[in-house]
Structure 1
């Protein structure tokens, strides 16, 4: 019995049902339907009308739900309700019944939203319409009750099919876990299990393996041959220079031309290949700026592959974004394999906590009970299903709605909690599978953070490589700053302390450890007493740490989010109280550190693998927690080479965190990265300022390499004709938005963006530097544009970045408002994007603690922070934003900058001169609108 209700709002107590649709399915056919509209006690809001398409006039002559309720309940009968987000629909039906003194015969229902999250865990979203499209279900009008009820009924059939594809053992586990949630849901899984037992028995598919009661996929298991042997057999020895071979592959008439119909060699790509190859051949570093459309990934991958095959030495490629990693793996590498006759191997390496730990999944699932949170049970059910089909066992395959961050933190792979060869899942472990693939690969693709972690860990994290390519290199300083610093969050410390012990020692890892070993003789002498004492210490340190964070939070002035810990502020009474708090904890911290070492030693003597796992988990979580507390303690003493600051987020229930970062990373990068290695290629579309690399060379610690002629530089222009394809427009009468309140600035901006969106018929991306102005503008812009059939998608309001981009692509008549992450990494070619708006030049706030400390050091050295740091950084960001517009040779569009400083200030020319061939059109706003409309038409 599939049911759907449409309502006046989201609160079942105060809002009302305006439509009910019901569908009864028998043997796969619709046997009966129910549909009624109901007149509410007050008019519908514009939002509900827009969402459902139901208008007040449609409900004018409708009956009240009280009159029809007995008929509806009779239609439902004794059958359990099936609904998408059943909790919502059932709660409204229950509230309506209670107001009439009636009741649903069965309040327990079957939720297709929950089942889809469990059985289809890798879908990017689980809205009814999206899942229906994925499953090939024809749908009617979205958010209309009968159509949605019909879709829900059909979806349940598809979910039954999905469940019956699972091994019987998995379905039996799901049945047990579902029994902790709902009798109806457990019965449904029992029926699927019975069907599988009749048709397939308890066989495990060839693509899977079962170990210790857990079923997992065998995808990505490495070959049995040793890694070094596999690579040496593919080595071709030294031949002609790499540059000549690479140019031959990319030239018209070359191997790539034979493979790709209509292929044309690109001059810029050939120029870049030459520079990369020279760096490989001569043993030098290279800084290569490659404009949009150059084809830079293939321009470095082909020489890298040739170098790896000729020398037998591995090449690493580091990127900033997952999107670029995916592009290399899924789009570029298949082409490379064809070029090299399938004799080239590539592996993607991610940070360890991206991979799932199967031992932890099994342990967490085994500990579930009737008092476990509903969300935890559903998340772990999803993980059991995902393990059957996962390709790599990485977090990115799942969505946040399927497995919440807190659950993933409990099942992720970690060095601190790994028992290595004692683990029953050591051989098939997804993390070690990835490491093994990396050891056999010619090219390893990783990210900046892991590459830096590898250097910090003396190259024990990644497979050994002899050459490195850093793409998206304009992010390297930022990532190095983050990686070489540290941070500790009050909420994170609380989470870890609660994992260790809570409820006065009744639950948590340490009490569970004590309970587990209570009836064994294997616990070392005095360990029980030490564990009990440790719980007291953890409780005490946790309380003191919360007080310490309160003292630090008090240092942040009202109206600000962060406060740098200067020498002057370290004399403040609240900071002194913070220091006193931390100094009182040194003895228990030392004792807990010693306990952690004792636990590690004990784990080596454990009688069984399960015992070892439980002990190591306790030691690992204890060490993670101690690391955070130690960082808090370290902040009591100033470090002249580091900047430290406190952050406060939220007003009513503020969340505090403490951060530290190096003031300068250039020396560290020079010493640990560029001096030890001979061949490092750094590339990006934005590395130069007015054609010069001075800023990047100084920023990244490449001065010595440049002075010793160990550095090649090249600026490869984009193949696009920006002078013909793009227009840069600056309204000369725009007010100074920075000097206005956010509300006033949004009012002016909203009106102008409205006119611009009409002129460009949507297809517009607006980039903000202020989240507050973005939200205020979205509020003012949404309804007026909706009346013009132009949708507005706003960051922080309308879903995740991925979901918003997907919606924007599917709806050409729409406007996208974004900040920060939307300035780069977005590919919207053709007519998907024709108008780009930059509200303010993207200068970093000078008040940020790291920026402030760096500027002070530059000033002390007699240098201008603005010209040496602020301006170059803003120009790079500006160029990244501008690069969102023209993505192919056929693209055409306009960039409108609402910041007059680009034409009124002397430094504004630096922005303009960094854009190839683009000259600004400066005129009053109305003239700009006419120019935009004329150019786009």
Structure 2
């Protein structure tokens, strides 16, 4: 076995570095027998020496003008084996199994190297990383739940990096997340830190490289930037000098200057200069920076490509449909924040058509632009017909729903009837006619003709989807802007995800703090199609690591008794919830995040509480107001009223957040998708058990994860829902899912807990 040659042995290089043997410019080229070949590349010549890996005896080998080519390694290895220092000792045998060597090196990093940089030894983190590594080595799909504090990000970056070192993978690893905050942490903290440590310990020989992948609207368009900059300069207004300076910065060559997310420009300005459409007629196409960087991003030169779930799913769909790929080939994909993966899939695989798309197409056509008069008349008639049919279709299917202002009522299933199908078919027929006309029509812009054809074809394709009632769930909903949209989602989305994601041969690590219910992954596997994997083709590794934080000492759970049943239309319920929130805010001296599942209820209770609380700053996070999180952070002792968006992905360590109030159990919001799920079950109680309750538990655990972010944090958790009371239907399910901690129904216990756990500064803000 000892005649095997090991090339690029990262663990051997680290071993010699830690022993103080490896010189500054020296590297390990290969291992043969018990000897390593060390190469020192100088300016004039390259010198080689051999070293016994057990007793560190060394022998000078030779010097060359050029390094040994890899094809000569067998000859060099034979020469190494003939050295007297390479005498084999049966009691000293090198481990040749690359998988085991990778595992040993990963363990060494967690046990010895990371603690040198102030990182605490965490048994669960090391076990998690080793499980991820073994899954990659054995081509298993890894389902890894790691509760807050486990350190899953370090775990998977190190597991992937070590695996790639020993497998000699030349393709990038995809890391997919749900939030920008995690992407920024990965690129600004985790990867740079790990890269520095591994470089210092000679485990890698060059820094880990990465690129963040986003939609093109996040980047600067050279053509649009030049046009907009010229228009601002021509106005010659003194107040625009600052803006012109910022626009000038965007002309720098460095890659990160293309990314608009890093510039403090208004949304209006970004909309004017970002990449909207890339056209072959663009005057900048031959030297466009975005096009140049896009080609580089599609290369396999990066160690990591980082994107969100939507982007990686869009790439998967494009590949399946034969469209332009968004990402390079990759062999490993890490899905972090995987509890949001199904939501992303429902967005990407959902076909949408808004009520204003056909009016926009009509505006784009502008019949007066046509060269010949007969085409003008024909096109005007067609545009009038399209407008009328579009209006009837949305008004008929929307019905009274159009007049509804209730924020919770944002969607309803489309009732399939003959008239709806006829209107859709009429629209399709008109769009087909439009396409035929534009084959021969002459306009003042060939680029405009192409845009019209593509837009009309896109609308036609989507209308055809809405006719496929047996394959799709179809509904109409209000968009964020208040307009109406037709939506259609494949009924068998799980099976599509199975084919697109899990049946491709890509090594996958799927991780989150909350993807199981009590360590059971059945709900997540069912929703994502993972349960369709056949054991003989690909096995699933399931790992669940509890939080290392001491909740029993550092947390307390408050569940009041005698609360009314949750009903936002009941004034007694609203009064009781408001009273409990006021008592809790006073007991914890502010420092509170209050999470709601209803915007309407959030606003109503905010104004009720505002009448009584003046000692602490109150903030309300309405739709899109993520800036309120930073205002809350800076306040020191504020109270933040927020929705689901603040219940996931935010990191507020320390005393700023010492109380998390959950007003109502976060059951899934009724939707056409849930209505369809219900039809799969004969027994309603089974539907609740397998779909509704697991969905609620997973989100509840996410919300709880906001409270304690560091080992020294202390926090109060409160659930103001009678269904978790002493005799509540969901009490056992909830308590089993949450970390072990004292439970009380007395507000005095909360006051005592805060008094014991907090220092004087906490109360002086």
TM range (shorter): 0.7 to 0.9
Q: Which residue of 1 aligns with 2:84?
A: none
Q: Deviations over 1:649-706 (max 9, x none)?
A: 69xx962211111233221111121111241110000011011111112222122436
Query: Partner of 2:215 in structure 1?
Result: 351
1:381-460 equivalences in 2 (<5 Å):
384-385=247-248, 387-388=250-251, 391-398=256-263, 402-404=266-268, 411-414=273-276, 417-419=278-280, 423-430=283-290, 432-439=292-299, 440-458=301-319, 460=325
Contact 1:730 1:928 in 2 (8 A): no
Contact 2:495–2:532 under 8 Å retained in 1? no
1:649/1:677 Cα in 2 relative to 1: closer, same or farther (>3 Å)?
Answer: closer
Pair 1:285–1:553, CA change in 2 (3 A): same
Alignment partner of 1:731 is 2:560:
yes
Distance 1:867 1:631, change over 3 A: same
For 1:674 and 1:471, the matched residues in 2 are separated by 15
1:173-217, CA deviations, whole angstroms, 9 ceiling, x for partnerless residues?
xxxxxxxxxxxxxxxxxxxxxxxxxxxxxxxxxxxxxxxxxxxxx
Contact 2:552–2:741 (CA under 8 A) maintained in structure 1: yes
Alpha carbons of structure 1 residues 398 and 286: separation in structure 2 relative to 1, 3 Å: same
Map of 1:859 onto structure 2: 681
Aligned to 1:245: 105
Aligned to 2:94: none
1:800 is aligned to 2:625:
yes
Between the aligned partners of 1:280 and 1:812, the Cα distance in structure 2 is: 44
- Residue aligning to 1:74: none
* CA contact 2:222–2:288 (8 Å) conserved in 1: no
What are the within-5 Å matches in structure 2 for residues 900-919 of structure 1?
900-903=722-725, 904-919=727-742
- Displacement of 1:359 in angstroms is 2.1
The TM-score, its normalising length taken from structure 1, stands at 0.62
2: distance between equivalents of 1:656 and 1:352? 26
* Cα distance in structure 2, aligned partners of 1:368 and 1:257: 55
In the alignment, structure 1 residue 889 sits paired with structure 2 residue 711: yes
Q: What is the rounded CA distance, in whole Å, between the counterparts of 1:452 and 1:931 in structure 2?
A: 49
Contact 1:835–1:894 under 8 Å retained in 2: yes
1:627 and 2:458 equivalent?
yes
* CA spacing shift, 1:244–1:370, aligned 2, 3 Å: same
For residues 577 and 704 of structure 1, the distance between their equivalents in structure 2, rounded to whole angstroms, comes to 38
Higher relative contact order (CA 8 A, sep 6+): 2
Where in structure 2 are there 5+ consecutive unaligned residues?
1-96, 199-203, 759-765
Task: Tell me the distance in 2 between the aligned counterparts of 1:905 and 1:485.
Answer: 37
User: In structure 2, what is the equivalent of residue 47 of structure 1?
Assistant: none
Q: CA deviation at 1:806?
A: 0.9
8 Å Cα contact 2:354-2:484 kept in structure 1: yes
- The CA distance in 1 between the partners of 2:646 and 2:345, in whole Å, is 22
Whether 2:662 is the aligned partner of 1:829: answer no
State the distance in 1 between where 2:391 and 2:461 align.
14
Contact 2:559 2:743 in 1 (8 A): yes
Matching of residues 134-153 of structure 1 within 5 Å: none
Compared with structure 1, are the counterparts of its residues 585 and 889 closer, same or farther at alpha carbon in structure 2 (3 Å cutoff)? Answer: same
Shift, 1:564, TM fit: 3.7
> Measured at CA, do residues 361 and 380 of structure 1 come closer, stay the same or move farther in structure 2, by a change above 3 Å?
farther
| Aligned ranges 1:351-750 → 2 under 5 Å | 351-363=215-227, 384-385=247-248, 387-388=250-251, 391-398=256-263, 402-404=266-268, 411-414=273-276, 417-419=278-280, 423-430=283-290, 432-439=292-299, 440-458=301-319, 460-495=325-360, 497-498=362-363, 500-501=364-365, 505=368, 511=369, 537-538=382-383, 540-554=385-399, 556=401, 559=404, 561-562=409-410, 564-565=412-413, 569-571=415-417, 575=420, 578-579=423-424, 582=427, 585-591=430-436, 594=439, 615-616=446-447, 619-620=450-451, 622-624=453-455, 626-628=457-459, 630-632=461-463, 634-635=465-466, 637-648=467-478, 655-705=483-533, 707-708=535-536, 710-738=539-567, 740-741=569-570, 744-750=572-578
Deviation at 1:747, TM superposition (A): 3.4
- 1:148-178 CA-partner distances (Å, limit 9, x unpaired): xxxxxxxxxxxxxxxxxxxxxxxxxxxxxxx
**What is the aligned partner in structure 2 of residue 166 from structure 1?**
none
CA contact (8 A) 1:663 1:854 kept: no
C-alpha separation in 1, matches of 2:151 and 2:373: 62
The answer to whether the 8 A contact 2:514-2:702 is kept is: yes
Answer yes or no: is the 8 Å Cα contact 1:379–1:403 preserved in 2: no
- Gap change, CA 1:648 and 1:264, over 3 Å in 2: closer
Aligned length: 639
2-structure distance, mates of 1:766, 1:457: 41
* Alpha carbons 1:365, 1:380 under 8 Å: kept: no
Cα 1:403–1:869, aligned 2, differ >3 Å: closer, same or farther? same
1:475-494 Cα offsets, whole Å, 9 max, x none, are: 11121122111112224554
| Cα distance in 1, alignment partners of residues 305 and 492 from structure 2 | 29
Q: Distance in 1 between matches of 2:374 and 2:194?
A: 61
On the 8 A contact 1:834/1:936 being kept in 2, the answer is no
Normalising by the residue count of structure 2, what TM-score does the alignment of the two structures yield?
0.76
Residue equivalent to 2:194: 336
SS in 1 for 2:594: strand
SS in structure 2 opposite 1:306? helix
Using the TM superposition, give the Cα deviation of residue 620 of structure 1 relative to its aligned residue in structure 2, in angstroms.
Answer: 3.4
Q: Deviations over 1:264-292 (max 9, x none)?
A: 22112101111111011111110000110
